Amino acid sequence: MQNKCLDVFWRVLYLDGFLNLLKPPGLTSHDVVEQVRALFPDHKVGHGGTLDPGAAGVLPVLLGKATKLSSYLVDFPKIYRAELFLGLTTDTADSSGKIIAQKNPFSFKSEEIERVLNSFTGEIQQIPPMFAAIKQKGKKLYQYAREGITVERKPRTVNIYYLKLIDYFPPERIILEVKCSKGTYIRTLCSQIGDALGCGGHMSFLLRKEVGEFLISQTHLLEDLINLCNTGTAEQLLRPLDFPFRKADGLLLSQEGTKYLFHGRFLFLKELQDKSRNAVIKPVDEKIVPVYTTEREFVGLARWKFDSISGFTLKPEKMIKLF
């Protein structure tokens, strides 16, 4: 059992921020959170988007005040590398399920595969698989499935920003890369593509490469975190609270403006332009922006709102620090 990160100076240091961890296959996202929680028992711990147990890849883990920002991480686009195995259809749409249909796959030309992939870009409809963690009538779908019960699921609209053919090993294996919106089931997408190719198929491998600003090239192993905890240097893996929003146009607010947002009040654009140290303010309706003090300390998120009477106003979205 790993040592707690309270053994040295963690008794007086509370960490707020993000860990970019590499989830191995075989662990659930919750398993990873529990292992981190064991290291930081006095901290709130969460994650920024569920990854299937059999999948590997980027798993943002949230510590302390970062847990207040979890819902915004879920909204970020994600990039996956997946293997589609043609000819075998399973009840889970991945390799963990039972084979429910089998057909000898054809040998395709790359152009034929790419033509089918292009038909799945943009907004598409997906029916969530029965083996999924989403709830229906207070119960997770996979719980119904394990009881042999199939319930009706409504189609969902998701966005496939791009869908690339990376490699093809005829006749069964296709390697894909997908950039998609939240709520996309890659195993369902693989099943849909297999059906469109006329032979069925299932997802046999999944790697999550990116979640917004969290990149697989910058991930750390759980073992790395444990080792650094043992030497009292785990803080070096921590990303700051504004890390996921660093590419957004942040706003610098006076102490008065910051207090307005913390008390649930809004700020008019003209007022901000008159008093702000921001070089240029370019509001976009419904856009979320990070907010900083004039000393560039991150204090939370705000949202631009527009109406024909007041014009643009800045309203508090999620304020997490008061200086």
DSSP 19-77: EEEEEPTT--HHHHHHHHHHH-TTS-EEESS---TT-EEEEEEEEGGGGGGHHHHHTS-
Handedness of CA 45, 51, 55, 60 (dihedral sign): negative
Residue 213 pLDDT: 96
Q: What is the pLDDT of residue 269?
A: 87
Q: Check if CATH label 3.40.640.10 holds for domain 78-208.
A: no
**pLDDT at res. 78:** 97
What integer pLDDT is reported at residue 316 of this predicted model?
Answer: 95
CB 100 within 8 A of CB 210: no
Q: One-letter amino acid identity for 16?
A: D
Give the pLDDT confidence score for residue 310 in this predicted structure. 84
* Residue in the block written with tokens 């008065």: 256
Enumerate the active-site residues: 52
- The pTM score is 0.89
Q: What is the pLDDT of residue 322?
A: 61
Q: How many Cβ atoms are within 10 Å of 120's Cβ, its own excluded?
A: 16
Is the CATH number of domain 248-319 2.30.130.10?
yes
The CA-to-CA distance between both ends of the chain, in Å, stands at 38
In the chain, where the domains are located: 9-75+213-241, 78-208, 248-319
> 248-319: same fold as 9-75+213-241?
no
Q: What tens-digit pLDDT sequence spans the chain (323 residues)?
A: 455 665 544 443 678 999 999 999 999 999 999 999 999 998 999 999 889 889 999 999 999 999 999 999 988 999 999 999 999 999 999 998 999 999 999 899 999 999 999 999 999 999 877 666 677 777 777 777 677 777 777 889 999 999 999 999 999 999 999 999 999 999 999 999 999 999 999 999 999 999 999 999 999 999 999 999 888 888 999 999 999 998 888 898 888 889 999 999 999 888 787 666 665 678 899 999 999 998 899 999 999 999 888 899 999 999 997 65
pLDDT at 11: 40
The CATH number of the domain covering residues in 9-75+213-241 = 3.30.2350.10
Burial of 261 (0-12, 13-18, 19+ CB in 10 A): buried
Position 277 scores a pLDDT of 62
Q: Which tokens belong to 186?
A: 């890659």
